Structure 1
């Protein structure tokens, strides 16, 4: 990927469109937002595929995140909590927990940050 400087940040052109990145939200997405989004959405996409392969009847998955940063170390991202709200029919917590374990093992973004950022994944079943 190629990034080009602009006022207040940088941008790149990708197949889906232009991505503006900046430390200032006025000029683009902040780098930590993209990092957290990459972890959350990668996990969500892998989870969705696993649940589909297991033929679980999923209607919706919402992902909520919470981020812990260390202001004394350049505002470093130290922990990302990823919480899945899963809506479907006849969902079994034991099966979902196993799917969560597979998700962690198969999400490239989670695997990329292991050892540097603690990633915690939780879920709840929504009626």
Structure 2
């Protein structure tokens, strides 16, 4: 399967990406780096792609398992190297679920996260070749 994307310079440090012909997204740098802060930075988008990919997997799997929860967030703690090119050396994902009596569904939640991390999420697979990826699950009663 082939995907084609277009990224167009929009002045300063801003670029507009056209994804699949109709979704548009602006990337820009901070003022200190010649941009006008009109959009996220490329590495921010990389982390967003990671959390979106694994998050969609987990939600899909949990829906099929009929696991009930009221909230779900993925938090990220990422370590970046000091030398150029600055890259993420470690990315820690925190899968945080809110709901009532989630401890009873912990095995299903663990399975959903495991399947995303080890089978379905292509972004996890790509990034794990470049950085150490770790994760944890937190349950919040509510």
Please tell me the TM-score bracket, short chain as reference: 0.7 to 0.9
Q: How many angstroms does 1:29 deviate by?
A: 1.1
Q: How many angstroms does 1:55 deviate by?
A: 0.8
Q: 1:97 aligns with which of 110, 118, 141?
A: 110
Q: 2:49 aligns with which of 34, 38, 52?
A: 38
The corresponding residue for 1:21 is: 27
| Residues 31-75 of structure 1, C-alpha deviations (whole Å, 9 max, x = no match) | 110000111111111001111111111221012111110011421
- Give the gaps of 5 or more residues in structure 2: 31-35
Q: CA RMSD in A?
A: 1.7
- Give the gaps of 5 or more residues in structure 1: none
Paired residues of 1:57 and 1:90 also in contact (CA < 8 A) = no
Name the TM-score, length of structure 2 as normaliser: 0.79
Q: Which has the higher strand share?
A: 1
Q: Which runs of 4+ in 1 moved over 4 A?
A: none
The corresponding residue for 2:6 is: 2
Name the TM-score, length of structure 1 as normaliser: 0.88
Going from structure 1 to structure 2, the CA distance change for 1:100 and 1:87 (only over 3 Å counts) comes to same
The corresponding residue for 1:115 is: 129
Partners of 1:85 and 1:10 in 2: CA distance: 33
Q: How many angstroms does 1:96 deviate by?
A: 1.8
Partners of 1:40 and 1:118 in 2: CA distance: 15
The corresponding residue for 2:68 is: 57
Paired residues of 1:42 and 1:107 also in contact (CA < 8 A) = yes
SS of the counterpart of 2:90?
strand
